[in-house]
Structure 1
Amino acid sequence: MAVNGMTLFDKPDDYFGAEWRRQPGGGPLLINLIHDIDSLRHLVGEIESVRAFTSSATRGFPVEDTASVAIRFANGVLGSFVISDAAVSPWAWEYTSGQALYHPSQPGASLFIAGRAGALSVSDLYLWRHAAPGQHWQHPLVREHRPGDGSQTYVTQLEHFVAVIRREAAPLVSARDGLATLAATLAVEVAAREDRTVTLAEMLGGTRGT
C-alpha cells in the first residue's frame, strides 16, 4: 500500500574539492538516489510517475544537496523518499545494512514497507502484523525478526558478475532494468526543475521495444 524511505548522510567538505561534484549531475540524485530507486523497483514494483522538490540551500552549489520525492508505482502503491548528503543521521542503507565497506554500521531501518497484511522495516528486517485475522488498528501488533542469510552484498554481486562473464549464470537483471532505474532517477530531476508530475513513459519515450 505504501513505502517510505530515507538516505541521509553528511559528506565532508573536501569531498566537493572536485569541480564536477559541485555541478548538476554530481549530486545525491544521480550518485546516491539511483541505488535507492533500484531497490524500490525491486521490492515494490515499477514506477509510474514522480513529483519532487530539490534544494541546494545548505552549500549553495548549482547541484542539489537535498531532495524529497513522491512516487506513484504502476501497481497503485504510493511512496515517498527523502535524500540529503548534508544531513547527520543513521538512516541510510549504507549504515543500517552493515554491508558498506567504508561506512560504520548503525543498526536500524531506513526503509519502511506497509501492506494489507503487515509491514516490514529494512535493513533491520522486522515484520509487523496482527496476531489474528480480522484485527485492526485498535489491536496490538506482533513483531517478528526475519534476519537475512548472512551473505555479504558486494561479495555476492562480484561472484555473480564473474559467473555471468564465464557464462555459468544468466544475469539477474537486464540492461532494460538499468534503463528503467536511470529513467526514474532522471524523472526526479525533471519533476523538481519543472515543478510537475513526470511519468516514466515520458522519460522512456520511444525506447520501449527497441
Structure 2
Amino acid sequence: MIHFAIVGCGHISKKHIEAIENVENAKLVAVCDTSVERLQETCEKYQVNGYKDLGEMLDNQPEIDVVCICVPSGLHAKLAIQAANAKKHLIVEKPIALTVQDAEAIVQACKDNGVKLSVVHPNRFRPAIMALKKAMTTGQFGKISHANATLRWNRNQAYYDQAAWRGTKEMDGGVLMNQAIHNLDLLLWLMGPVEEVQGYSATRLRNIEAEDVAAATVRFQNGALGIIEAAATIFPKNFEESLSIFGESGTAVVSGTTANWIKHWEFESLPKQHAEALIQEVEHDPYGTPGQEEIIRDMVDAIRSDRDPVVSGVDGLEALKLVLAIYKSAELGKPVKLNEIVEEENRQYEYNHS
C-alpha cells in the first residue's frame, strides 16, 4: 500500500482525493492546510488526519510515501522541497513553479533525496491525445510542417475574485501559466523542444495583474513552426481547446470545448475506414480514465517498479520555460531563444540575492 498526503485542501485537492480512492494500492492518510475551516471540512468528509503545518504532518505520520502539492503555484517550491528533504515522493500540481530557479530546485531536491517527482499534466492520458502521440511516434505524419495549440476559454472576473492570489504574478500567473500550460505541455510532448519564441501578451478584459490573452509563434528544434493562442476572455463560456498537427503525409486535429475529440484524422498510410473507426472509438469514450487518476496510478507503479513517472519534473520545467519565454518576448518586443530564459533568470536571481 502506498500512503498519500495532500497539502492544500482547495478545489483541485478534491480531484486528487477522488483519484487516490479509485486507485488500487493507494490510500490517503493525511491532509494539510493553513485554513482551519477547509481542513476541518476535508478531514470530516474523508475521515483522515489533518494538520496546519507540513512539518508537523511529516513528523507525526512517517508512513507517508507521497505528498501531493495542491497549494497556489507560488508556494510549490518551498513545500515540495521540504517534503523531498523528508524523503517523500512528490506529485506537484501544474505549473511545477513560477520561476526556473524554483522548478530546478524542486527537481534537484528530489534527485538529491532519491525520491520520484511527477507534475500534474493529466491531459496526456486522454484517448484522442494518446492516439495523436502514437501517430507521431510511428512517423505517420512524415516530415512535420507546423502545429497549432489553441485555448479559447472563459474565466470571468468572478473567477478571479474568488481568491486574492488568482491572476497575480507572484502566486498564479495568467492564462498561459494557469489554463494553457496543459496544452503547451502536450505541444512539447508531441513536437519536441522549442528553440525560439516570438510572443505577445495583454490584459484586455479582466482586472488582474497577469495576462488574460496571449499569442506566440515558435520554431521547434526540429525546424517545424508552431502557433500558440491562449485566452481567458472568450464570451460567454469556454469555446475551444485544440491541437492541430500538419505533416507531409498526415493531418490531425483534436478539438472540442476541451481537446477530447478527433475532428480530423487523415494519413497517407491509413485507410479511410480505419480513421473513421478510431474517430468513433474516441467519441464513444472521449474522456477515458480521469487524468489525475492516471497520474496517481502511475506514481504507485513507478514506486513499486522503481522507475521514473510518465510526466517528470523535467517535463514540468520545459512547459514552464516555454511560458516564461513568451512572457520575456512580449516584454522585450523581439524573439527570444529558450536557453536565454534560463540564463536571464539566473542573472536576475543572482542580482536579487547579492
Please report how far the alpha carbon of residue 7 of structure 1 lies from its aligned counterpart in structure 2 after TM superposition: 0.8
Map of 1:1-210 to 2, 5 A cutoff? 1-17=145-161, 18-24=163-169, 25-88=172-235, 89-92=238-241, 110-122=242-254, 123-125=260-262, 126-129=264-267, 144-145=275-276, 146-147=278-279, 150=285, 151-152=288-289, 153-167=291-305, 169-205=307-343
Conserved? CA contact 1:187–1:200, under 8 Å: yes
Give the Cα separation in 1 of the matches to 2:317 and 2:268: 39
Please report how far the alpha carbon of residue 111 of structure 1 lies from its aligned counterpart in structure 2 after TM superposition: 1.3
Give the Cα separation in 1 of the matches to 2:269 and 2:314: 41
Question: TM-score scaled by structure 1?
Answer: 0.75
Please report how far the alpha carbon of residue 168 of structure 1 lies from its aligned counterpart in structure 2 after TM superposition: 5.1
Structure 1: runs of 5+ lacking an equivalent: 93-109, 133-141
Q: Which has the larger radius of gyration?
A: 2
Amino acid at match of 2:155: K
Q: Which moved more, 1:57-66 or 1:186-195?
A: 57-66
DSSP-derived class of the 2:226 partner: strand
Give the Cα separation in 1 of the matches to 2:228 and 2:294: 27
Please report how far the alpha carbon of residue 42 of structure 1 lies from its aligned counterpart in structure 2 after TM superposition: 0.6
Please report how far the alpha carbon of residue 156 of structure 1 lies from its aligned counterpart in structure 2 after TM superposition: 1.7
Gap change, CA 1:176 and 1:15, over 3 Å in 2 = same
DSSP-derived class of the 1:20 partner: coil
Conserved? CA contact 1:187–1:199, under 8 Å: yes
Give the Cα separation in 2 of the matches to 1:27 and 1:206: 21
Structure ranking higher on relative contact order (CA contacts 8 Å, 6+ apart): 1
Counting matched residue pairs gives 182
Higher helix fraction: Structure 1 or Structure 2? 2
Gap change, CA 1:129 and 1:58, over 3 Å in 2 = same
| C-alpha RMSD of the superposition | 2.7
Amino acid at match of 2:248: R
Amino acid at match of 2:245: I
The percent identity for this pair of structures is 27
